[in-house]
Amino acid sequence: MAREFSTVGVVGLGTMGAGIVEVFARNGIDVVAVEISAPALERGRATLKGSTDRAVAKGKLAEADRDALHERVHFAVGLEALHSVDLVIEAVPEHLDLKQRIFAELDRVCRPETILATNTSSLSVTEISVATSRPNQVIGIHFFNPAPVMKLVEVVRTVVTAPEVVADVEALCARLGKVDVTINDRAGFIANALLFGYLNHAVGMFESHYATREDIDAAMKLGCGLPMGPLALMDLIGLDTAYEILDTMYRRGGRDRRHAPVPLLKQMVTAGLLGRKSGRGFYTYERPGSPVVVPDEATPLATDGALADGARAIAKVGVVGSGTMATGIIEVFAKAGYEVVSVTRGMEKSAKVCEAVKTSLNKGVVRGKLAEADRDAALGRISWSATLDHLADVDLVVEAVVEELSVKKALFASLDEICKPGVVLATTTSSLPVIDVAMATQRPADVVGLHFFNPAPVMPLVEVVRTIRTSPEATATARAVCAALGKTGVVCGDRSGFIVNALLFPYLNDAVKMLEASYSTADDIDHAMKLGCGYPMGPFELLDVVGLDVSLAIQRELYLELREPGFAPAPLLEHLVTAGYLGRKTRRGFRDHSHR
């Protein structure tokens, strides 16, 4: 039978510590909240009061319950106040020597049966535990910020943590209404190990002027449905905290180069640009601690990638291709008021594309998202052709044919001969080098990537890919077209994966490696990322939807181009694809979908 905890202690009353105090007090548990000094204690008290007052104002907590919550909390200076608690959770800054000193003192102060827990997000629980004479009673209980809201708790056991201690803590998490995942003591645990490699990669993109901060963040929010972009999230976490976590993971996690903090991160920390807490990080905020972003001029690299004026006028658009992507792009342009010429191989395919567009538009009418008159007007703007010659007078051509470089190069060579001067030629490739396509023409300055996401009528993002030969006018035209379509166009360089795939698929690959190492289960890893990071899908859910073969192909391209050892495809992913386990499309992937 699980142990009953009636009184717990919390050491450190910063944002995280005060949140943990609130979690316990909300659930009827008496809390001894401890800080190092009276001023720090008052700041912690104010943080708790502010949080509970906001909950009352939002109708999420009754005034009587708030008052009862505060009555359960006893504030004190010094660790001596923890002499009779059943459990202590330490939530001080991420410095190993500091935590070890606190645990040594807790070992002296607390009763022999008291469980000692650390809320560390990256440090070794084992190294913390050896500062005590009771390492078998030391465990990691990693809450996520904000603790009262986030459902996930990572329960971290060391090689000597007693099984009954683990069971008691798991039962406590359930009592608190949290979902726990129990794992071994490894750098970054689950969530941070997967999250911070991705965040560091995003900082590297920004540092190298590959894309602007706004475009990187918009790409991941709109392309992946994430609650925040990576650079805004870094500001929320705190750049100093992020640096410490990455540095710890690099040193403890096998010195993976992708966890070595990007130099810009260290420079910003040294300069005091810590994110929201200091009022300035990758973005500038209204005041320290405020979430409100204000325009700035001086944020490092903030204006890099600014577009030149000179967008060309676009009235008539050609779309080449007959697949789902081409069909969606035709619909998007026609609904936005453009005259569209659809070109396919043969009138039979043209008829199929026409029917697909009509069906999609009719669905929009049935669902109340499109008026009948607007549907009819959109259809009236589309003409159908089986020859490229009908593209002679268009202003923009969007190619959406099969992802084979030889096919695209041949097509662009033909377009170069047929289209009038000044026409922007766009490829929708998601994986091939745009420059290779551009150099099949005599006008590489007019060639740009327009990577729509599927389904094109629904997805709000388009990656605008400029090569080293793309003119500023062509880039500006492409972005202006995206805006006219009601899409967010994000500009990036011509590099494998562009923004979204380059950040997304290494994260998915890391999750496969974590599973392959038997560190955790697919379900727990998915829970960790959904509940701990707010992701709409866990990595294995997403891999099964995308297709394991597609993921493997993209990961191989990233590895071949960037030559980063950490990008090497996980052997487990390769083996599953070889065995025909491709995800939902084969009803077998990381999960069995045969019942669906």
Cite the active site residues. 121, 142, 154, 192
Q: Is the dihedral of CA 560, 563, 567, 569 positive or negative?
A: positive
Question: Which two tokens mark 168?
Answer: 């008691």
Residues 6+ apart with CB under 8 A from 21: 10, 13, 31, 33, 44, 48, 73
The rounded distance, in Å, linking the Cα atoms of 530 and 519 is: 18
Region of 39 please: left (phi>0), alpha (psi -120 to 50) or beta: alpha
Peptide bond between residue 146 and the one before it cis (omega within 30 degrees of 0): yes
The rounded distance, in Å, linking the Cα atoms of 413 and 152 is: 54
The rounded distance, in Å, linking the Cα atoms of 47 and 61 is: 16
Query: Hunting for tokens 């202690």 — which residue is that?
Result: 9
- Kindly tell me the burial class for residue 563, based on how many C-beta atoms sit within 10 Å of its own C-beta (0-12, 13-18, 19 or more): exposed
How many other CB atoms are found less than 10 A from the CB of residue 294? 12
Residue 592 DSSP code: B
The rounded distance, in Å, linking the Cα atoms of 133 and 10 is: 20
Question: Which two tokens mark 440?
Answer: 């099949």
**Contact in structure between 4 and 83 (CB atoms under 8 Å):** no
